[in-house]
Amino acid sequence: IDSYDCADSTEKIAGLLGIHDFVTTISTACSSAANAIMLGARMIRSKRLDRALVGGCESLTKFHLNGFNALKILDKEPSKPFDQKRAGINLGEGAAYLVIESEDSLAMTGNVPLCELAGWGNACEAFHQTASSPDGIGAFLAMNNALEMSGLKADEIDYINAHGTGTDNNDLSEGRAIERLFGTRIPMVSSTKPFTGHTTSAAGSTEAILSIFCLQHQVIWPNLNFTERISELNFSPVQKLLTGVPVGAVMSNSFGFGGNDTSLIFKK
Protein backbone atom coordinates (compact mmCIF):
# COMPACT_ATOMS: atom_id res chain seq x y z
CA ILE A 1 0.00 0.00 0.00
CA ASP A 2 1.41 3.36 -1.00
CA SER A 3 1.65 6.05 1.63
CA TYR A 4 2.67 9.67 1.32
CA ASP A 5 4.15 12.10 3.79
CA CYS A 6 2.95 15.69 3.84
CA ALA A 7 5.86 16.84 1.65
CA ASP A 8 5.07 14.46 -1.21
CA SER A 9 3.07 16.97 -3.25
CA THR A 10 5.73 19.64 -2.70
CA GLU A 11 8.47 17.36 -4.02
CA LYS A 12 6.38 16.35 -7.04
CA ILE A 13 5.58 19.96 -7.97
CA ALA A 14 9.20 21.01 -7.53
CA GLY A 15 10.39 18.10 -9.65
CA LEU A 16 7.89 18.82 -12.41
CA LEU A 17 8.80 22.51 -12.59
CA GLY A 18 12.54 22.11 -11.98
CA ILE A 19 12.50 24.08 -8.74
CA HIS A 20 15.54 23.23 -6.65
CA ASP A 21 16.87 26.35 -4.90
CA PHE A 22 14.59 26.11 -1.86
CA VAL A 23 11.91 23.48 -1.38
CA THR A 24 10.07 23.03 1.90
CA THR A 25 6.71 22.04 3.36
CA ILE A 26 4.78 23.59 6.23
CA SER A 27 2.27 21.51 8.18
CA THR A 28 0.21 23.62 10.57
CA ALA A 29 -3.21 22.11 9.86
CA CYS A 30 -5.71 24.60 8.46
CA SER A 31 -3.24 27.51 8.38
CA SER A 32 -0.64 25.54 6.37
CA ALA A 33 -1.16 27.19 2.99
CA ALA A 34 -1.44 30.68 4.49
CA ASN A 35 1.81 30.08 6.35
CA ALA A 36 3.43 28.90 3.12
CA ILE A 37 2.44 32.22 1.54
CA MET A 38 3.79 34.08 4.54
CA LEU A 39 7.09 32.17 4.51
CA GLY A 40 7.59 32.84 0.81
CA ALA A 41 6.92 36.54 1.34
CA ARG A 42 9.33 36.72 4.27
CA MET A 43 12.09 35.06 2.27
CA ILE A 44 11.53 37.45 -0.61
CA ARG A 45 11.52 40.39 1.76
CA SER A 46 14.83 39.25 3.26
CA LYS A 47 16.23 38.87 -0.31
CA ARG A 48 16.80 35.15 0.03
CA LEU A 49 14.47 34.55 -2.93
CA ASP A 50 13.34 36.59 -5.94
CA ARG A 51 10.08 34.71 -6.43
CA ALA A 52 8.30 31.76 -4.89
CA LEU A 53 5.52 29.30 -5.69
CA VAL A 54 3.41 29.00 -2.57
CA GLY A 55 0.17 27.29 -1.58
CA GLY A 56 -1.24 24.00 -0.45
CA CYS A 57 -3.29 20.95 -1.35
CA GLU A 58 -5.60 18.52 0.39
CA SER A 59 -7.31 15.28 -0.53
CA LEU A 60 -10.23 13.60 1.20
CA THR A 61 -9.42 10.26 2.82
CA LYS A 62 -11.07 8.02 5.39
CA PHE A 63 -8.37 9.11 7.83
CA HIS A 64 -9.30 12.74 7.20
CA LEU A 65 -13.04 12.17 7.53
CA ASN A 66 -12.78 9.93 10.57
CA GLY A 67 -10.49 12.37 12.34
CA PHE A 68 -12.97 15.23 12.09
CA ASN A 69 -15.87 12.89 12.83
CA ALA A 70 -14.13 11.87 16.05
CA LEU A 71 -14.09 15.53 17.04
CA LYS A 72 -17.87 15.65 16.40
CA ILE A 73 -17.61 18.76 14.24
CA LEU A 74 -18.89 17.45 10.89
CA ASP A 75 -22.24 18.84 9.74
CA LYS A 76 -24.29 16.33 7.73
CA GLU A 77 -26.14 19.28 6.17
CA PRO A 78 -24.59 22.19 4.23
CA SER A 79 -22.46 24.19 6.65
CA LYS A 80 -23.76 27.47 8.10
CA PRO A 81 -20.82 29.68 9.12
CA PHE A 82 -21.64 32.51 11.54
CA ASP A 83 -25.19 31.25 11.98
CA GLN A 84 -26.77 30.81 15.40
CA LYS A 85 -27.66 27.22 14.45
CA ARG A 86 -24.30 26.30 12.94
CA ALA A 87 -23.47 22.65 13.46
CA GLY A 88 -20.00 22.03 12.05
CA ILE A 89 -17.93 21.83 8.91
CA ASN A 90 -18.22 20.27 5.47
CA LEU A 91 -14.85 18.93 4.35
CA GLY A 92 -13.53 19.70 0.89
CA GLU A 93 -10.44 18.96 -1.15
CA GLY A 94 -8.41 20.89 -3.67
CA ALA A 95 -5.15 22.58 -4.50
CA ALA A 96 -4.30 26.26 -4.96
CA TYR A 97 -0.97 27.96 -5.58
CA LEU A 98 0.24 31.51 -6.15
CA VAL A 99 3.45 32.96 -7.56
CA ILE A 100 4.77 35.85 -5.51
CA GLU A 101 7.62 38.10 -6.66
CA SER A 102 9.72 40.97 -5.42
CA GLU A 103 9.56 44.35 -7.15
CA ASP A 104 13.07 43.76 -8.52
CA SER A 105 11.97 40.42 -9.96
CA LEU A 106 8.92 42.02 -11.56
CA ALA A 107 11.16 44.60 -13.21
CA MET A 108 13.22 41.78 -14.74
CA THR A 109 10.40 39.44 -15.74
CA GLY A 110 7.93 42.05 -16.89
CA ASN A 111 5.14 40.16 -15.15
CA VAL A 112 2.07 42.19 -14.27
CA PRO A 113 1.06 41.67 -10.62
CA LEU A 114 -2.56 40.90 -9.79
CA CYS A 115 -2.26 42.60 -6.41
CA GLU A 116 0.11 43.28 -3.53
CA LEU A 117 0.53 41.11 -0.45
CA ALA A 118 0.58 44.09 1.88
CA GLY A 119 0.73 42.44 5.28
CA TRP A 120 0.73 39.22 7.19
CA GLY A 121 0.57 38.12 10.79
CA ASN A 122 0.82 34.83 12.68
CA ALA A 123 0.14 33.99 16.30
CA CYS A 124 0.11 30.68 18.12
CA GLU A 125 -2.07 30.92 21.18
CA ALA A 126 -1.71 27.20 22.10
CA PHE A 127 -5.00 27.34 23.99
CA HIS A 128 -6.04 23.81 23.07
CA GLN A 129 -5.04 21.02 20.70
CA THR A 130 -8.01 21.66 18.41
CA ALA A 131 -10.19 24.46 19.82
CA SER A 132 -9.74 28.21 19.52
CA SER A 133 -9.68 30.31 22.68
CA PRO A 134 -13.11 31.67 23.67
CA ASP A 135 -11.90 35.29 23.45
CA GLY A 136 -10.12 34.79 20.12
CA ILE A 137 -6.78 36.21 21.29
CA GLY A 138 -4.78 34.32 18.66
CA ALA A 139 -7.06 35.46 15.85
CA PHE A 140 -6.94 39.04 17.14
CA LEU A 141 -3.13 39.06 17.30
CA ALA A 142 -2.78 37.60 13.80
CA MET A 143 -5.19 40.13 12.29
CA ASN A 144 -3.74 43.05 14.23
CA ASN A 145 -0.16 42.16 13.26
CA ALA A 146 -1.14 41.88 9.60
CA LEU A 147 -2.93 45.23 9.77
CA GLU A 148 0.02 46.98 11.43
CA MET A 149 2.46 45.57 8.87
CA SER A 150 0.29 46.68 5.95
CA GLY A 151 0.29 50.29 7.09
CA LEU A 152 -3.46 50.38 6.49
CA LYS A 153 -6.02 51.69 8.92
CA ALA A 154 -8.75 49.37 10.15
CA ASP A 155 -11.40 51.23 8.14
CA GLU A 156 -9.39 50.67 4.94
CA ILE A 157 -10.09 46.92 5.03
CA ASP A 158 -13.09 46.49 2.76
CA TYR A 159 -13.73 42.77 3.22
CA ILE A 160 -12.71 39.92 5.50
CA ASN A 161 -12.65 36.44 4.02
CA ALA A 162 -13.17 34.79 7.39
CA HIS A 163 -11.89 31.39 8.43
CA GLY A 164 -15.56 30.75 9.23
CA THR A 165 -15.63 26.97 9.54
CA GLY A 166 -19.20 26.68 10.79
CA THR A 167 -18.23 25.17 14.13
CA ASP A 168 -19.66 26.51 17.36
CA ASN A 169 -16.21 27.31 18.71
CA ASN A 170 -14.45 28.85 15.72
CA ASP A 171 -17.11 31.26 14.52
CA LEU A 172 -17.77 32.78 17.93
CA SER A 173 -14.05 33.03 18.69
CA GLU A 174 -13.24 34.60 15.31
CA GLY A 175 -16.26 36.90 15.55
CA ARG A 176 -15.16 38.20 18.93
CA ALA A 177 -11.66 38.83 17.58
CA ILE A 178 -13.09 40.76 14.61
CA GLU A 179 -15.22 42.90 16.91
CA ARG A 180 -12.26 43.58 19.18
CA LEU A 181 -10.09 44.74 16.29
CA PHE A 182 -12.62 46.68 14.24
CA GLY A 183 -14.99 47.89 16.93
CA THR A 184 -18.23 49.27 15.55
CA ARG A 185 -16.83 49.73 12.02
CA ILE A 186 -16.65 46.09 10.94
CA PRO A 187 -15.86 45.47 7.26
CA MET A 188 -18.02 43.21 5.13
CA VAL A 189 -17.42 39.63 6.31
CA SER A 190 -18.19 36.23 4.85
CA SER A 191 -16.92 32.68 4.83
CA THR A 192 -16.55 31.04 1.42
CA LYS A 193 -16.27 27.55 2.88
CA PRO A 194 -19.89 26.63 2.02
CA PHE A 195 -18.82 26.97 -1.63
CA THR A 196 -15.60 24.94 -1.45
CA GLY A 197 -15.92 22.87 1.69
CA HIS A 198 -13.22 23.29 4.29
CA THR A 199 -10.13 22.39 2.28
CA THR A 200 -8.06 22.34 5.50
CA SER A 201 -4.38 22.39 4.42
CA ALA A 202 -5.32 24.15 1.15
CA ALA A 203 -7.77 26.60 2.73
CA GLY A 204 -5.28 29.46 3.09
CA SER A 205 -4.32 29.53 -0.59
CA THR A 206 -7.80 28.67 -1.87
CA GLU A 207 -9.23 31.62 0.01
CA ALA A 208 -6.29 33.86 -0.87
CA ILE A 209 -7.20 33.38 -4.53
CA LEU A 210 -10.87 34.04 -3.81
CA SER A 211 -9.79 37.22 -1.99
CA ILE A 212 -7.71 38.31 -4.97
CA PHE A 213 -10.73 37.75 -7.23
CA CYS A 214 -12.60 40.27 -5.06
CA LEU A 215 -9.93 42.87 -5.82
CA GLN A 216 -9.84 42.05 -9.52
CA HIS A 217 -13.58 41.96 -10.11
CA GLN A 218 -14.87 44.25 -7.34
CA VAL A 219 -17.14 41.62 -5.84
CA ILE A 220 -17.90 40.37 -2.33
CA TRP A 221 -18.74 36.70 -1.85
CA PRO A 222 -21.91 35.79 0.06
CA ASN A 223 -21.94 33.68 3.20
CA LEU A 224 -24.24 30.85 2.10
CA ASN A 225 -26.88 29.27 4.35
CA PHE A 226 -26.98 32.13 6.85
CA THR A 227 -30.35 32.84 8.48
CA GLU A 228 -29.79 34.01 12.07
CA ARG A 229 -27.04 36.08 13.70
CA ILE A 230 -24.97 34.53 16.49
CA SER A 231 -26.52 35.90 19.67
CA GLU A 232 -23.17 36.85 21.23
CA LEU A 233 -22.05 38.89 18.18
CA ASN A 234 -23.14 42.27 16.85
CA PHE A 235 -22.60 41.70 13.13
CA SER A 236 -23.94 39.45 10.41
CA PRO A 237 -22.05 38.20 7.34
CA VAL A 238 -22.78 39.27 3.76
CA GLN A 239 -25.75 37.24 2.52
CA LYS A 240 -25.90 38.05 -1.21
CA LEU A 241 -23.29 38.33 -3.93
CA LEU A 242 -22.29 41.99 -4.16
CA THR A 243 -20.96 43.28 -7.48
CA GLY A 244 -19.56 46.62 -8.56
CA VAL A 245 -18.50 47.52 -5.03
CA PRO A 246 -15.18 49.27 -4.34
CA VAL A 247 -12.75 46.69 -2.93
CA GLY A 248 -9.24 47.99 -2.32
CA ALA A 249 -8.01 45.75 0.49
CA VAL A 250 -9.01 42.28 1.68
CA MET A 251 -8.04 40.37 4.81
CA SER A 252 -7.98 36.57 4.56
CA ASN A 253 -7.99 34.51 7.77
CA SER A 254 -6.75 30.93 8.20
CA PHE A 255 -6.73 29.42 11.67
CA GLY A 256 -5.30 25.99 12.45
CA PHE A 257 -5.36 23.40 15.21
CA GLY A 258 -3.23 24.28 18.19
CA GLY A 259 -4.21 27.93 17.81
CA ASN A 260 -1.84 28.56 14.89
CA ASP A 261 -3.58 31.61 13.42
CA THR A 262 -2.57 33.51 10.28
CA SER A 263 -3.99 36.56 8.54
CA LEU A 264 -3.01 37.87 5.12
CA ILE A 265 -3.87 41.26 3.61
CA PHE A 266 -4.06 41.75 -0.15
CA LYS A 267 -4.54 45.16 -1.74
CA LYS A 268 -4.86 46.56 -5.24
What's the maximum distance between 2 C-alpha atoms anywhere in the chain? 55
- Backbone φ and ψ of 103, nearest 5°: -65, -40
Active site residues: 30, 163, 198
Query: How far is 196 from 79, CA to CA, in rounded Å?
Result: 11
* Calpha distance 73→169 (Å, rounded): 10
Rounded Cα distance, 186 and 179, in Å: 7
Burial, 57: exposed, middle or buried (Cβ in 10 Å; 0-12, 13-18, 19+)?
Answer: buried
Instruction: State in Å, rounded, how far the first CA of the chain is from the last one.
Output: 47
